Structure 1
Amino acid sequence: MKIKKWLFYASIFLKKNKIFLPRIESEILLSFVLNKSKFWIYEFYENYLSIIQLKKLMELLKRRINGEPISYILGFCEFWSLKINVSSLTFIPRPDTEILVEHTLKKIRFDTKNILDLGTGTGAIALAIASEFNKLNITAIDIIPELINFAKKNAKKLSINNINFIQSNWFSNLNNKKFDIIVSNPPYIKYKDYLLLEKSIKFEPISALIAEDNGLSNFNSIILQSTKYLNNSGWIILEHAFNQSNQIIKILQKKNFKNIKTCLDYNGKERITYGQKI
């Protein structure tokens, strides 16, 4: 079968199975199997695919229509223009989390030295910040040892050397170290909301998604402990669900944070809330 014919039928197959952007995903899978660029694919549109290539492509298409996220199929995703490896052990970094990175970068001043990323997962947030400011000292923690090793491998692959990865249950292993900025995208989905999410989400580790107390338990823990680990005038910057900002603002106010603000994501929904320790 020729490349152009496979793309035609693969796009129809994905569309019938309600996959968003079926043509683009067909191109991505083909590029992955052939290890060629999209430009090459269209330059050699009339080339024939081998039996082995067709078999592999069909396996990937079946995985995709079963709901498996394309990032898991490929083994990587793009975040902040960085190629971040992912696996079924890791949460897939979302484009909206780049908003969290943007607001963190805006808070960095000439005297900013230490930044903490709580719940690093793949390391995406810490890696994005470190890629922009290689002189900063960044600490990235996660409670799961396998994720710490995974994030370390991502850092090594990207030749990023200014991140210290530590296994820790939030602040438990930080030995009272102080930071200028604390940033976090913790689990924040309510269990009843999780049940209503699209099936592709169910492939991701539930521990990276769901939180107790209507999704607020991790924010309570992080904010209530954070003042011990923040320098004066330091910032805490949090990603949350679109309907959680009011509760998070109240928790920040309870701990006497000032200059509190909620910011929108790329879809115009409330996504980031930050506050400053005064």
Structure 2
Amino acid sequence: MCLDALLVAAAARLTAAGSPSARLDAEVLLCHVLGVDRTWLYTWGDRAAEPAVIERFETLLARREAGEPVAYLTGEREFWGLRLATEPSTLIPRPDTETLVAAALEQATAATGRLLDLGTGTGAIALAFASERPEWTVLGVDLRPEAVALARRNAARLGITNAAFCQSDWFSVLATAERFALIVSNPPYLADDDPHLARGDVRFEPVTALVAGDDGLADLNYLVRTARGHLAASGWLLLEHGAEQGAAVRQALAEAGYQEVASRRDLAGHERVTLGAWPGR
């Protein structure tokens, strides 16, 4: 069987299994097995598939049919043009979260500064920002030591030296007087009965990184209350949230004393990030 025929059959199987991106999934998995990029696959698709390749591909394909995320099967995901290692212990970086990176870059108008990324996971947000602002200092923190280790490996793999990572329960590791020009976070924001928890890739991701109390608003509200203690004068807090939570986050920021409160929409047009500036002391 040639590679093209193998892909056609695989895409049909994944379509039947309910994958919304069956052909792409099949191509990414086969490229992973072959150790090539998709351009090579398009050029040499008429080549015969070796038995060892078919066997490895079949194993991954069966796991994808069962719903496992492609990012966990290949161990990597592209985010902001960076290829990041992924593990089941952390959330998979998503295009929606690039909205948060873009919003942070908009506010990073000074030549230098400090950014804090809370709940950094793979380090995606911290590393994307650090790659665009090499003169800034970036700190990413996460409660899970395995996430911190993964973020550090991603930084080393990408050669990004202005981002550091450490274990912390939100702000617990920080000195009382420590201040940042920007604080960003993609915290848990799904309610425990959110139907998305039973769909797609989310079924395989760590629930502690997805679900928060108070209908998904508990962690967002906590960060609104506490981040101001670590923001520099006129510093910005930027929070990713669910598509229906923008109004609630704007209200929380305004009531807490933040100024210039606004929201940013993702590529699908949903309110995805809300930000506010803490006034000077």
TM-score range with shorter-chain normalisation? over 0.9
For residue 273 of structure 1, give the secondary structure of its aligned residue in structure 2: strand
Tell me how far apart the structure 2 counterparts of residues 225 and 36 of structure 1 sit (CA, whole Å): 46
User: In structure 1, what is the Cα distance between the partners aligned to 2:196 and 2:103?
Assistant: 31
Count of matched residue positions in the alignment of Structure 1 and Structure 2: 278
Aligned-pair identity (%): 37
Local SS of the residue matching 2:125: helix
Tell me, in whole angstroms, the C-alpha distance in 2 between the residues paired with 1:121 and 1:171.
15
Amino acid corresponding to residue 222 of structure 1 in structure 2: L
| 2:95 counterpart SS class | coil
Output the CA distance in 2 between the equivalents of 1:149 and 1:241.
Answer: 27
Q: Deviations over 1:99-145 (max 9, x none)?
A: 00000000012254111101100000000000001110111111111
15-24 or 162-171: bigger deviation: 15-24
What does residue range 2-41 of structure 1 map to in structure 2 within 5 Å? 2-41=2-41
SS at match of 1:4: helix
Distance 2:21 2:183 in 1: 36
* Cα-to-partner distance string for 1:171-223 (whole Å, 9 max, x where unaligned): 11111210001011000000010565414211001111000111111112111
Looking at structure 1, the residues matched to 208 and 91 of structure 2 have their Cα atoms a distance apart, in angstroms, of: 9
Q: Which deviates further from its counterpart, 178-187 or 22-31? A: 22-31
- The residue number in structure 2 matching 1:82 is 82
Q: Which amino acid in 1 is paired with 2:277?
A: Q
CA distance in 2, matches of 1:233, 1:178: 11
Tell me what 2:250 maps to: 249
Residue 253 of structure 1 aligns with an amino acid whose one-letter code is: A
Q: Which residue of the partner structure matches residue 166 of structure 1?
A: 166
Question: Structure 1 residues 172 and 75 mapped into 2: Cα distance closer, same or farther (>3 Å)?
Answer: same
Q: Is the 8 A contact 1:194 1:210 kept in 2?
A: no
Of the structure 1 ranges 10-19 and 41-50, higher mean CA displacement relative to structure 2 is found in 41-50
- Does 2:43 align with 1:64? no
Question: Corresponding residue for 1:265?
Answer: 266
What CA distance in whole angstroms lies between the structure 1 residues aligned with 2:121 and 2:60? 25
CA distance in 2 between counterparts of 1:113 and 1:179 reads 7
Gaps of 5+ in 1: none
- Larger mean CA deviation between 61-70 and 40-49 belongs to 40-49
Matches of 1:245 and 1:19, distance apart in 2: 29
Contact 1:112/1:180 (<8 A) preserved: no
Are the counterparts in 2 of residues 121 and 151 from structure 1 also a CA contact under 8 Å? yes
1:30–1:57 CA contact under 8 A, matched in 2: yes
Residue 274 (structure 1) aligns with: 275
Asked whether the 8 Å contact 1:242–1:269 carries over to 2, the reply is: yes
Contact 2:197/2:203 (<8 A) preserved? no
* Cross-structure match for 1:193: 194
Q: Which moved more, 1:82-91 or 1:111-120?
A: 111-120
TM-score by length of 2: 0.96
User: Contact conserved, 2:116 with 2:139, CA < 8 A, in 1?
Assistant: yes
Q: Which residue of 2 is the match for residue 152 of structure 1?
A: 152
Q: TM-score, normalised by structure 1?
A: 0.97
3-state SS in 2 of match to 1:131 = helix
Output the CA distance in 1 between the equivalents of 2:211 and 2:278: 28
- Call closer, same or farther: CA 1:216–1:53 in 2, change over 3 Å: same
| Counterpart Cα distance in 1 of 2:23 and 2:52 | 22
What aligned pairs does 1:104-115 form with structure 2 within 5 A after superposition? 104-115=104-115
